[in-house]
Structure 1
Amino acid sequence: MAMVTMLYGSNYCNCNWLNKHFNSINKILHPPSLIVSASSSSSSNNDNDVVSTKSGTSARGRRLLKVREEKQQREYDRVHKYPSWAKVLQDACKDDTELRAVLGDSIGDPELMRKRVEDRVRKKGRDFSKSKTGSVLAFKVTFRDFNPLDSYIWFEFFGSPSDRDVNLIGSVIQSWYLMGRLGAFNSSNLQLGSSSMEHPLYDSDKGFKVLPSSFHDISDVEFQDNWGRIWVDLGTADYFAIDALLNCLTALSSEYIGIQQVVFGGRCMGDWEEGMTNPDFGYKCFKI
């Protein structure tokens, strides 16, 4: 009996130990579910509403406030950081229709205004209102081993000529060459130069029999920065063809584009780079 009691007591103790550990493992494997009551959720929402009410703003309100502040900052920058030169141009548009047409819808955008003005200067020159854009100073004339049958004629300007200036200068040189090619510069037939214009007389037969005198050849008019040049072969034309050219250039320099000097002869002037024909580096050309 004592043996039975001992065994039973031992088994009883083992059972208690097993039950205890089984309950611990069961709690780990099957934790109690979390129950959130509607009252707690409602309480949380009420707390958020209280915070939003206390701050006086909502998410949408904060976004609108940020947009309004950014707009005010842009307006401040436009008023206080607007370039002074842009203000001058904008004010000048009130009285200058040509300038207003050049700027167009770029007013208010300094970078676009700058681009429009640069394009206008490149195409038509620097002045907006004056018709006379030349120089009040007479240009210098020099000769450097000038050979009328094979020489360059150089022109130095006060600045790099615009596209309009290139066309104007080229047209003058082209006209001069055409007249020389047709024999206009022939001193053997100057019948009216020394006669009175009250009773002018011209002998057509004499003019017809005069030995022809004409240019032989000329190159295109080339430009690099503020220098221009042409190569000429004056052929049998007389030297007063040079006087005629200088007379034309004098009026051209005074009225339209200022010329610093004209040089007859010489192989290289200024910073002229032989063979450089890239427009990006300041090269321009007028085809004769």
Structure 2
Amino acid sequence: MAMVTILYGSNYCNCNWSHKLFNSNNKILHPSPLIVSASSSSNNNDNDAVSTKSGTSARGRRLLKVREEKQQREYDRVHKYPSWAKVLEDACKDDNELRAVLGDSIGDPELMRKRVEERVRKKGRDFSKSKTGSVLAFKVTFRDFNPLDSYIWFELFGSPSDRDVNLIGSVIQSWYLMGRLGAFNSSNLQLGSSSMEHPLYDADKGFKVMPSSFHDISDVEFQDNWGRIWVDLGTADYFAIDVLLNCLTALSSEYLGIQQVVFGGRGMGDWEEGMTSPDFGYKYFKI
């Protein structure tokens, strides 16, 4: 039952609503009450239950705040994520080289920016080149390679420009000319095994060594992003291949980007024999 507390100055009384506030002469005991306050006999647990249901309890307010903060973070991620960072993320799906540059920074715009800036510092700020080098080492494989009758294949990251064809063609041409002149002859490596503090070279010995030279080579051909040359290394030693790979490593890193080099094999990618029309992506460099 509800209780009523009536205050009259410094006096107060608690009474049940079922009793009238009269004396024996039916006169009101205190005709001018100053303050009337009501209190419920319900316990605190009932109040907490009502507060919880209405979401105004301390725990409810904390949960509501957590949800609001989570929604705000999600909103910021979707609406405030830099557009350039989103472009880089999408590009990584189809670009292995870009994915290698960004690494584990994807999702962190600030770290992504630092990785790109580091890449720019290493490669310079000249973006006018039609191709840039690759930060990835190209793959090297051998498929029944016969040094007297085999193709050497090059897979680039994209279709080469005329400049790229001239670059890789010039490297192959220089390599062939050195081989044709007997440069790759392990029978005469005098300085390679001597001390350079007091180098000595026996010209007569070098003159008497049996010549070792390339026999033949084809023009450099390209169909889309695949290129090839046919070689007959003749009596040249195998370290001619090491020399070629050293040259291609620098070429790939600094200029045009090579995905892989394959020694041997009759066909690679979508290569089609006899397809020599420039309209279908065919290019060549005359050796």
TM-score category (smaller protein): 0.5 to 0.7
Q: CA deviation at 1:206?
A: 0.3
Q: Is the 8 A contact 2:144 2:265 kept in 1?
A: yes
Q: What is the distance in 1 between the residues matched to 2:279 and 2:256? A: 22
Q: Is the 8 A contact 1:151 1:232 kept in 2?
A: yes
Q: 1:287 to 1:112 in 2, by over 3 A?
A: farther
- In the alignment, structure 1 segments of 5+ residues that lack a partner are none
The secondary structure found in structure 2 opposite 1:129 is coil
- In the alignment, structure 2 segments of 5+ residues that lack a partner are none
Report how many residues are paired: 287
> Cα deviation per residue 1:77-112 (whole Å; 9 max; x = unaligned)?
999999999999999999999999999999999999
Q: Kindly name which structure, 1 or 2, has the bigger radius of gyration based on alpha carbons.
A: 1
Structure with the higher helix share, 1 or 2: 1
Q: 1:273 to 1:76 in 2, by over 3 A?
A: same
Q: CA deviation at 1:195?
A: 0.8
Q: CA deviation at 1:124?
A: 17
- Residue 194 (structure 1) aligned with residue 193 (structure 2): yes
Q: Is the 8 A contact 1:124 1:162 kept in 2?
A: no
Q: Is the 8 A contact 2:5 2:13 kept in 1?
A: no
> Cα deviation per residue 1:185-226 (whole Å; 9 max; x = unaligned)?
000000000111110000000000000000000000000000
Does 118-127 or 265-274 show the bigger shift? 118-127
Q: What is the distance in 1 between the residues matched to 2:284 and 2:92? A: 34
Q: What is the distance in 2 between the residues matched to 1:170 and 1:34? A: 107
Indicate the residue corresponding to 1:179 in structure 2.
Answer: 178
> Cα deviation per residue 1:212-246 (whole Å; 9 max; x = unaligned)?
00000000000000000000000000000000000
Q: What is the distance in 2 between the residues matched to 1:2 and 1:60? A: 30
Q: 1:144 to 1:95 in 2, by over 3 A?
A: closer
Q: What is the distance in 2 between the residues matched to 1:84 and 1:7? A: 69
**Misfit runs of 4+, over 3 Å:** 1-38, 40-132
Q: What is the distance in 1 between the residues matched to 2:157 and 2:104? A: 33
Q: What is the distance in 2 between the residues matched to 1:239 and 1:43? A: 98
Q: Is the 8 A contact 1:134 1:255 kept in 2?
A: yes
Does 74-83 or 147-156 show the bigger shift? 74-83
> Cα deviation per residue 1:139-176 (whole Å; 9 max; x = unaligned)?
00000000000000000000001000000000000000
Q: What is the distance in 2 between the residues matched to 1:125 and 1:272? A: 35
Q: Is the 8 A contact 1:156 1:259 kept in 2?
A: yes
Q: Is the 8 A contact 1:132 1:255 kept in 2?
A: no
Does 270-279 or 127-136 show the bigger shift? 127-136
Q: 1:24 to 1:277 in 2, by over 3 A?
A: farther
Q: Is the 8 A contact 1:122 1:162 kept in 2?
A: no
Indicate the residue corresponding to 1:20 in structure 2.
Answer: 20
> TM-score, length-normalised on structure 2?
0.57
Q: CA deviation at 1:277?
A: 0.2
Q: Is the 8 A contact 1:124 1:163 kept in 2?
A: no
Q: What is the distance in 2 between the residues matched to 1:194 and 1:284? A: 42
Q: 1:109 to 1:164 in 2, by over 3 A?
A: farther
Q: CA deviation at 1:119?
A: 30
- Same amino acid, percent of matched pairs: 93
Q: Is the 8 A contact 1:185 1:238 kept in 2?
A: yes
Q: Is the 8 A contact 1:92 1:99 kept in 2?
A: yes
Q: 1:63 to 1:208 in 2, by over 3 A?
A: same
Structure with the higher strand share, 1 or 2: 2
Q: Is the 8 A contact 2:185 2:212 kept in 1?
A: yes
Q: CA deviation at 1:128?
A: 3.3
Q: Is the 8 A contact 2:52 2:60 kept in 1?
A: no
Q: Is the 8 A contact 2:178 2:184 kept in 1?
A: yes
Q: 1:153 to 1:47 in 2, by over 3 A?
A: closer
> Cα deviation per residue 1:95-136 (whole Å; 9 max; x = unaligned)?
999999999999999999999999999999997346981000
Q: 1:148 to 1:25 in 2, by over 3 A?
A: farther
Q: What is the distance in 1 between the residues matched to 2:8 and 2:80? A: 100
> TM-score, length-normalised on structure 1?
0.56
Does 264-273 or 107-116 show the bigger shift? 107-116
Q: Is the 8 A contact 1:185 1:240 kept in 2?
A: yes
Q: What is the distance in 1 between the residues matched to 2:87 and 2:4? A: 119
